[in-house]
Chain A
Amino acid sequence: MGDVIVVEGLTKSYGAERGVIDLSFAVAPGEVFGYLGPNGAGKTTTIRTLLDFIRPTAGRARIFDLDSTVGSIEIHRRTGYLPGELALYERMTAADYLTHFAALRGGVDWGDVRRLAERLDLRLATRIRSLSHGNKQKVGLVQAFMHRPELLVLDEPTTGLDPLVQQEFHTMIAEARLGGSTVFLSSHVMPEVERLCDRVGIIREGRLVAVEDVGDLKARAIRTLDIRFARPVPGEAFAGLPGVQRIEVQGDLVHLTVAGHLDAVVKAAARYEVVDITSNEPTLEQVFLTFYGEGENKDR
């Protein structure tokens, strides 16, 4: 079976505004593909082109081996979509809204809708207007999953969800993947992508700068480590260890910037009396630094 999404030289320009430039990547069946980049990098533009809300300036995208523009109706039939800026019909109840969309999709198993709503703890009888942001997001999620689509295209899906619901959402993604679905998921937070995805495409200022296995990305990722010792420790104890890029000593506290595995650092620290270790998840900026080095100017 061929790739579910194939993007070839896709460019979308909006006059002077930022669009996306010459994107090429492919997403295999059953894969969870993360699309990672800061806000405004072009994630939503890419997704809206895949779904034919906007048309490419150059290049093309094929989904299920169909052209994204010519085959959009068949693509939509087999795809579940959650927009980044979710807007629902505020005056309808969640149940009416989902009923309407189920009908437009030619019918879905209402048992699925009820199960999804239950899992996410969404009350269907409520008018959408009076739902909180997080609960509206749940309506969006049910809407995206309810017809058991072969492809899920989710633009920043966990925005506004509380941690418990995020957990449930992660399970839903895992189940969809087990059921053979492919997932294309955009995010601006590294840990989420690390957790859910097999591979990740990194987009910055409209250009795809890397497509990596999440495992490799983690191995290469830079993180900052704060180690508090019982008494001050000389910074030289960590100098020259593999991966250590920066050392800063403040009394009994040592800040380290480390690329890749922490093994050597942890073993070096173990020679002294350690009070506490805090490892900070790499921020997106730090991930980018891995790809560009310090010389690259910062996006934000």
Chain B
Amino acid sequence: MPYPFMLRTVFAKTIRDQRRALLWWSLGFVGTVLLYSAFWPTIRENASQFNDYIAKLPEAVRNLIGGDYGTAQGYVQAEMFSLLLPVLLLVYAIGAGARAIAGEEESGTLDLLLSTPIRRSRVLLDKLWAMVGASLMLATLAWVSIVAIGRPFGLTVGLVNLAAAAVNLLLLGVVFGSIALAVGSTTGTKAMAIGVTSGLALVTFIVRTLAPSVPAIKPLRLLSPFFYYADHKPFSNGFNGGDVAVLSGIAVVAALVALVAFDRRDLAA
């Protein structure tokens, strides 16, 4: 009997397990884009009022929104990329990273999986790639749907700058997904992995948002992944190699921590 592709490896089986969930995530991404694209014609007509309103907001909030409602790219940046899409992707990636090892360990299925001639590191990497692959799919879907759905509503954004923003979005998701994987692989506790990583995401998000207006913590913004995600304004400036490198670097370090910790540890029965 030939082995169906989706059952052949831990990577494929992990994706297979998520197939229904990923369908819903995809619908969520496309739905978000559709909703905000539909608002665009109205917003554009009243752009000056929105900008006046934003100008009156505290600096931290302005910094969070970061967009100019008078331009399509400013609108996409402010409405989709400043909060909604990152939150959606982080929720997915943190969940996937936490479930990868800790979830299997807690449900007791890890023993049998590792009784096969597959190395612990192989299992972990397969699950990491599944998380990265699904995040890539969602980030790509964001790009594609903004291009395809936005256009009829007159929401046209530079394809390259949009791609730069989508790449940062992907990397942001992978950073926190890998951290959740590392915490889960070290502790074997899914709740701990989700809790610690979500807390870390929240704190670094707040630091990045407040830092520009609070001199005491201004240098700390460099420690926040959200700084590398947004502060060089991909919608105006396109790709930033430094940001890509820093975000990738954090993810790689987290993955290495996960590998080393998981390989050395006693597994819970």
Instruction: Give the interface of A toward B (CB within 8 A).
Output: 44, 48, 51-55, 73-74, 76-77, 79, 81, 83, 85-89, 91, 96, 99-107, 110, 140, 143
**How many Å from the CB of B20 to the closest CB on chain A?**
10
Contacts of B8 in A (CB 8 A): 100, 103
Residues 99-112 of B, flagged 1 when their CB comes within 8 A of A and 0 if not, give: 00000000111011
Contacts of B10 in A (CB 8 A): 104
Contact B111 A88 (CB under 8 A): no
Q: How far is the CA of A51 from the CA of B8 in the complex (A)?
A: 23
Contact B269 A44 (CB under 8 A): yes
Contact A88 B117 (CB under 8 A): no
**How many Å from the CB of B58 to the closest CB on chain A?**
48
Contact A110 B1 (CB under 8 A): yes
Q: Which of B65-118 contact A (CB under 8 A)?
A: 107-109, 111-118
Contact A103 B3 (CB under 8 A): yes
Say whether, besides A73-B119, A96-B7, A91 and B112 are in contact (CB < 8 Å): no
Say whether, besides A44-B269, A79-B115, A85-B108, A103 and B17 are in contact (CB < 8 Å): no
Say whether, besides A99-B4, A110-B1, A89 and B109 are in contact (CB < 8 Å): yes
Contact B266 A76 (CB under 8 A): no
**How many Å from the CB of A166 to the closest CB on chain B?**
22
Contact A73 B109 (CB under 8 A): no
Q: How far is the CA of A89 from the CA of B113 in the complex (A)?
A: 10
Q: How far is the CA of A185 from the CA of B26 in the complex (A)?
A: 48
Contacts of B116 in A (CB 8 A): 76, 101, 104-105
Q: Which residue of B lies closest to A75 (CB)?
A: B117
Interface size class of B (residues with CB under 8 A): 20 to 34
Q: How far is the CA of A100 from the CA of B4 in the complex (A)?
A: 9
Contact A102 B3 (CB under 8 A): yes
**How many Å from the CB of A137 to the closest CB on chain B?**
13
Q: Does B206 contact A (CB under 8 A)?
A: no
**How many Å from the CB of A59 to the closest CB on chain B?**
15
Q: Does B9 contact A (CB under 8 A)?
A: yes
Contact A103 B9 (CB under 8 A): yes
Q: Which of B1-52 contact A (CB under 8 A)?
A: 1, 3-4, 7-10, 13, 17
Contact B3 A107 (CB under 8 A): yes
Q: Which residue of A lies closest to B119 (CB)?
A: A73
Q: Does B252 contact A (CB under 8 A)?
A: no
Contact A83 B112 (CB under 8 A): yes
**How many Å from the CB of B54 to the closest CB on chain A?**
47
Cβ 8 A contact of B267, one of A53, A86, A88: A53
